[in-house]
Chain A
Amino acid sequence: MTPDAMTGGFADAPIQSAKGFRAILEVLSRPGTIVAAPGAQPPAPLSPAAGLAALVLFDGTTPVHLAGRHDCSAVRDWLTFQTGAPLVGAGEAMFAIGDWSALSPVTRFAIGTPEYPDRAATLIVETDRLAAEGALLRGPGIARTARLSLPEIAAFRANRALFPLGFDTLFTCGDRLAGLPRSTIVEGA
């Protein structure tokens, strides 16, 4: 195990988890909203916001898939030590972390079943740019319309067509966080 695995977690887990959860709840309840999500210092290439989401949501019961450059020993060791989450292939994952290109094709991920649509994956997409511009968003959580810089449009339109099935997405950029639940209707820029 890399020595860094033991650092960069929460110093005060109950309080930091509670605040971190509210940040995640906020962005999934209000698609297009971008919030600061500091508090975790995971090893590169995992961003602080993705590290926070992992510390808040992962444990031994949540299989996690690491895609592309995120599937490295530093990240694997950190997540294993900090959360105990088992690392799995894309199809079995409850959560997945990676760049959009590494996560694609996203049709690999669980979308739930008609009786249990909650049994769907949450993708944590690392981006190098996150802004309230670009794709036009409508739907639950949005007063009229919102905008968010998505890595592509087609995959999210296809995902929305599956509703109430589909994956849900968190976008991370440094210590900033945004969300796109499967319920959001995505239109072109």
Chain B
Amino acid sequence: MSNHYNFAYLDEQTKRMIRRAILKGVAVPGYQVPFASREMPMPYGWGTGGVQVTAACLTPEDRLKVIDQGADDTTNAVSIRKFFQRTAEVAVTEHTAEATVIQTRHRIPERPLTAGQILVYQVPIPEPLRFLEPRETETRRMHALEDYGLMHVKLYEDIARNGAIATSYAYPVKVEGRYVMDPSPIPKFDNPKLSGTPALQLFGAGREQRIYAIPPFTEVISLDFEDYPFEATKAPHACDLCGDGGSYLDEVITDDAGGRMFVCSDTDHCASRQAAGHRGRLSPQEDAA
């Protein structure tokens, strides 16, 4: 390998510290383990927490996929993928099924994950109680006492004001009946996929210096109320390119006259369906030949 870099960029001492934090996170699902985050050669908004977790996990045998809002081809995703190609010499892929490690920002792939896969989330604000209580000593105490009344009050105020729980991203969950956890800013449409998956899910927050985990086959419940049950909503359309009525969609403005289309946010999912012959409302016409 290259002599100019440590394997996966970080030095061995740092990776050991991160690895120990990951293992404690796995042992206490949903609990935020503090760790000493390192400077990475990219800005915080680019998911340095996720990058450090990925760096601590990668082996040369891995095949890495990086997605940003479901897409493999954004600047952020391409940069992180190249970074690990160069520093860890790992193989990369855009296909969910082929990946052993997937680093993600804001989405869970549509394709169900499998045993042996690790999904690493980039997390901006790991503390789900932070908007309700700015003091770290207080939020720690609340987690310690399992005192989540304030969170329920906030969600109920949402209902009183809007007639429904307005939170649509970073929708709080309870892990294995114990810790309330921020699933990172994934759309609440993705929340059901957090629960019971055969894959291991790891979460890294760089600026806030926290690592947490959901082991495989762990129960993850979105907080709700008996009279206002949680709903994994999405735009009421099918994808205009692949016709999927069940995937999470992005709205794309197509012209100045207000034209718009809905397309899968998961680009690998959409491309795979199109390659398999699925068509949507705005798919190019087939050649008559």
Q: How many A-B residue pairs have CB under 8 A?
A: 112
Is B17 close to A, CB under 8 A?
A: yes
Residues from chain A with a CB closer than 8 A to the CB of B178 are: 163-164
> What's the Cα separation between A62 and B57 when bound, in Å?
20
Is B205 close to A, CB under 8 A?
A: no
In A93-110, the 8 Å CB interface with B consists of: none
Q: Check A17–B31 contact: CB distance below 8 A.
A: no
Residues from chain A with a CB closer than 8 A to the CB of B22 are: 25
For B20-61 the 0/1 string (1 means CB < 8 A from A) is 111111111101011000000000000000000000111111
Interface range on chain B (Cβ under 8 Å from partner): 35 or more
Is A126 close to B, CB under 8 A?
A: no
Q: Check A21–B57 contact: CB distance below 8 A.
A: yes
Q: List the A residue with the shortest CB-CB distance to B199.
A: A29
Q: How far is the CB of B225 from chain A (nearest CB, A)?
A: 25
- A115, A142, A164 interface centre (most CB from chain B within 10 Å): A164
Q: Check A120–B24 contact: CB distance below 8 A.
A: yes
> What's the Cα separation between A118 and B28 when bound, in Å?
8
> What's the Cα separation between A67 and B141 when bound, in Å?
35
Is B218 close to A, CB under 8 A?
A: yes
Is B231 close to A, CB under 8 A?
A: no
Is B98 close to A, CB under 8 A?
A: no
Residues from chain B with a CB closer than 8 A to the CB of A13 are: 12
In A44-68, the 8 Å CB interface with B consists of: 56-59, 61-62
Is A82 close to B, CB under 8 A?
A: no
Q: Check A114–B217 contact: CB distance below 8 A.
A: no
Contact for A164 among B8, B31, B58, B141, CB less than 8 A: B31
Contact for A18 among B59, B179, B217, CB less than 8 A: B59
Residues from chain B with a CB closer than 8 A to the CB of A118 are: 21, 24-25, 28, 31, 33-34
> What's the Cα separation between A183 and B19 when bound, in Å?
19
Interface range on chain A (Cβ under 8 Å from partner): 35 or more
Q: How far is the CB of B201 from chain A (nearest CB, A)?
A: 10
> What's the Cα separation between A24 and B26 when bound, in Å?
11
Q: Contacts A29-B215, A29-B216, A142-B217 given; indicate if A181 touches B31 (C-beta within 8 A).
A: no
> What's the Cα separation between A18 and B275 when bound, in Å?
36
Q: Check B21–A18 contact: CB distance below 8 A.
A: no
Contact for A22 among B8, B20, B59, B176, CB less than 8 A: B59
Is B13 close to A, CB under 8 A?
A: yes
Residues from chain A with a CB closer than 8 A to the CB of B248 are: none
6 residue pairs from A and B, CB less than 8 Å apart: A14-B6, A17-B15, A18-B60, A25-B19, A29-B216, A57-B16
| Additional A-B contact list (15), CB under 8 Å, known A28-B26, A140-B218, A183-B176 | A14-B7, A15-B59, A17-B12, A17-B15, A18-B8, A18-B58, A24-B19, A28-B27, A29-B216, A30-B216, A57-B16, A143-B198, A164-B31, A168-B24, A183-B215
